[in-house]
Structure 1
Amino acid sequence: MTAPQLTSESPPPPTRGRERLVDGKLLIGIGAVALLLVVSLFTGVYDVLGAEGGGEMFAITRIPRTIALVLAGAAMSMSGLIMQLMTQNRFVEPSTTGTTEWAGLGLILVMVLVPSAGLLTKMGVAIVFSFVGTMVFFLFLRRVTLRSSLIVPIIGIMLGAVVGSVSTFVALQFDALQNLGVWFAGSFTSVLRGSYEVLWIVLAVGVAVFVVADRLTVAGLGEDIATNVGVNYRRVVLLGTGLVAIATGVVTVVVGNLPFLGLIVPNVVSMIRGDDLRSNLPWVCLLGIAIVTICDLIGRTIIMPFEVPVSLILGIVGAAVFIALLLRQRRHG
């Protein structure tokens, strides 16, 4: 695979010294996110403190939902960070490269071809389709001569639209459109004990990202530089793509689509702390968890006793941040 070439609009290589991995600010951030998670545990229509069976309801719904918020928020934020490094573009993440749509196509095909398939089968197929879709995106990227910061995500969004249309067509043919809509709604409403545990896989993904963080950072500088310092560029890109595919596939199966999360978080963290993946990773995870939790709390309370899908809130916030980033780039030339 040929590396995307650096352009005048590509994000600059890291220029700051490496930040400390753990400091007082990070501990304060952990405390603030912990408070948000406590609020999440005790927010809902059902009174888990005073109602009969409240303790059981707390264990069945509130704890799994809060754990899912943590794992899904961290996973999709990390995925965005990895993809932005590999493409050298600030506007790339799973929902702007078609990765999420490919995972959805895998899900609908499993449901149509193997209706009795279990959760692990659906997850495996979604991961494979996510990987293939991301590699297709990279292949298209190789053919593009104009590598402006906007052309790259436009290509991904177009590919995602095509794949999403295929998924919709298949769903219409087999009367499964409602299922497809539920998958892409991006909601934690259905997260219960016994249905979310596969999300723990993304914890292993996070550990793997931390272990290979330096290689991913070097690969983000381009194939020539990576090769000169002894890094196997293609192998690292395949590894990064595989990690993104696993995270996206698992989250899509359990929760659904979380749009723009991987776009918002890495950009905010990079603007404040620079571009070193290893030292930024804890902050990316924390901010991703915080944003997902806040959006979920808004969705739970804004029309209580009903809920608004978290993807709706994220879409509004993400679109606003996307526009702000475009305006910021224009001001800086």
Structure 2
Amino acid sequence: MKLWMLTILAIILSFISLFVGAIDIKITDLLDWDSDEASIFLISRLPRLMAIILAGAGMSIAGLIMQSLSRNKFASPTTTGTLDAAKLGILISILVFPNVSYIQQIFFCFAFALMGTLVFMQILDRIKFKDAIFVPLIGIMFGNILSSITTFFAYEADLLQNISSWLMGSFTLIMAGRYELLYVSIPVIIFAYFYANKFTVAGLGEDFTKNLGLSYKFIRNIGLILVAVISSTVVLTVGMIPFLGLIVPNIVSLYLGDNLQKIIPHTAVLGVVFLLICDIIGRIVIHPYEIPVNVTVAVIGSAIFLILLLRGRAYAKQPN
């Protein structure tokens, strides 16, 4: 699919998203800027759309970087423990600092997301049997360990319900003044685009990177920092959104290949399209109520993930 086609589709879905919700808003309602409908549009609907766009593009790019650096198509913040580590960081910040500030939450979330990703990459470096399916399963197990630790301490501190509800991926509570942290994704995506060629080289292996006179560890650490920044901002603002960074880069690579700089724009736009579709479905299925976006993304994403797993297994069994 051409980039301009994806862009037009994203614009159409964005328009639909602005006028879908528990309260019906028509275009004619916006002619009176003093009306309640216009206030809802400016305070809730427009910020929600911006949050969806930034989160969809950001998480998709984060997954693309992870797949390039780990040389595995099934790597993403969901399957490497990054999101679970960020969740643990938020809990630790609340336990250590009872009156934790938003800045402290950002720091803890980012630090734990980065450490969790680095630990997974270290585990990956020590695995000799790097089957395409085996690697993400290790990441999922690692993430489940972190999630279990979070659940245990949250239960002991009587914060389990608060953490679970707060980190449930949903755009329901997004409004003006509560999503602006996601704008951090914009410079990160721009930097990733101009740094893409080095990520591509690093994805070819440490020896190949060193032969070209580049520092493999430096490039990889830069990539992991970008992934941690995006993941932590999305988790703090929206909550946990699974599979987005996994399936979108894989879909794009199916028809565009693995040239990172070439596929970054397509990945970002397709991520926006996919998340908009999931959010709109969640808002119209049981209207006027709403299904959290992490549920619709998980259902659709898990089905696509299963297809990718089966496809990867079938490809691995093909004779050379």
| TM-score normalised to structure 1 length | 0.90
Mind listing any 5+ residue stretches in structure 1 that lack a counterpart? 1-23
Deviations 1:124-153, CA, capped at 9 Å, x for gaps: 211110000000001111221111111211
Match among 181, 200, 204 for residue 221 of structure 1: 204
1:322 partnered with 2:305: yes
Is residue 133–residue 313 contact of structure 2 (8 Å, CA) maintained in 1?
no
1:190 partnered with 2:173: yes
SS in 2 for 1:140: helix
Is residue 109–residue 232 contact of structure 2 (8 Å, CA) maintained in 1?
yes
Residue of structure 2 equivalent to 1:144: 127
1:126 partnered with 2:103: no
Tell me which amino acid in the other structure corresponds to 1:43: V
Residue of structure 2 equivalent to 1:247: 230
- The CA distance in 1 between the partners of 2:299 and 2:70, in whole Å, is 25
- The CA distance in 1 between the partners of 2:165 and 2:187, in whole Å, is 27
- The CA distance in 2 between the partners of 1:166 and 1:81, in whole Å, is 28
Residue of structure 1 equivalent to 2:221: 238
Residue of structure 1 equivalent to 2:19: 42
Matches within 5 A, 1:70-85: 70-85=53-68
Is residue 151–residue 160 contact of structure 2 (8 Å, CA) maintained in 1?
yes
Matches within 5 A, 1:56-95: 56-95=39-78
SS in 2 for 1:94: coil
Is residue 104–residue 183 contact of structure 1 (8 Å, CA) maintained in 2?
no
Mind listing any 5+ residue stretches in structure 2 that lack a counterpart? none
Residue of structure 2 equivalent to 1:200: 183
Is residue 202–residue 247 contact of structure 1 (8 Å, CA) maintained in 2?
yes
Is residue 183–residue 257 contact of structure 1 (8 Å, CA) maintained in 2?
no
1:107 partnered with 2:90: yes
Name the stretch that deviates more: 38-47 or 271-280: 38-47
Tell me which amino acid in the other structure corresponds to 2:5: I
Matches within 5 A, 1:286-325: 286-325=269-308
Match among 245, 249, 253 for residue 262 of structure 1: 245
Tell me which amino acid in the other structure corresponds to 1:218: V
Is residue 88–residue 221 contact of structure 1 (8 Å, CA) maintained in 2?
yes
Residue of structure 2 equivalent to 1:5: none
SS in 2 for 1:96: coil
- The CA distance in 2 between the partners of 1:26 and 1:85, in whole Å, is 21
Is residue 127–residue 246 contact of structure 1 (8 Å, CA) maintained in 2?
yes
Match among 149, 161, 173 for residue 178 of structure 1: 161
Tell me which amino acid in the other structure corresponds to 1:31: I
What stretches of structure 1 move > 3 A for 4+ residues in a row?
A: 48-52
Deviation at 1:304, TM superposition (A): 1.3
Deviation at 1:279, TM superposition (A): 0.8
Residue of structure 1 equivalent to 2:262: 279
- Give the alignment's Cα RMSD to 1 decimal: 1.4
Q: Percent identity?
A: 40
- The CA distance in 2 between the partners of 1:28 and 1:146, in whole Å, is 40
Deviations 1:257-295, CA, capped at 9 Å, x for gaps: 110111111101001000011110010001100010100
1:116 partnered with 2:96: no
Aligned residues: 310
Deviations 1:156-214, CA, capped at 9 Å, x for gaps: 11111111011001111111111221243210111111110011001111011012110
Deviation at 1:67, TM superposition (A): 0.1
Deviations 1:15-64, CA, capped at 9 Å, x for gaps: xxxxxxxxx93222211101101111111111334494111111110011
Residue of structure 2 equivalent to 1:31: 8
Deviation at 1:329, TM superposition (A): 2.2
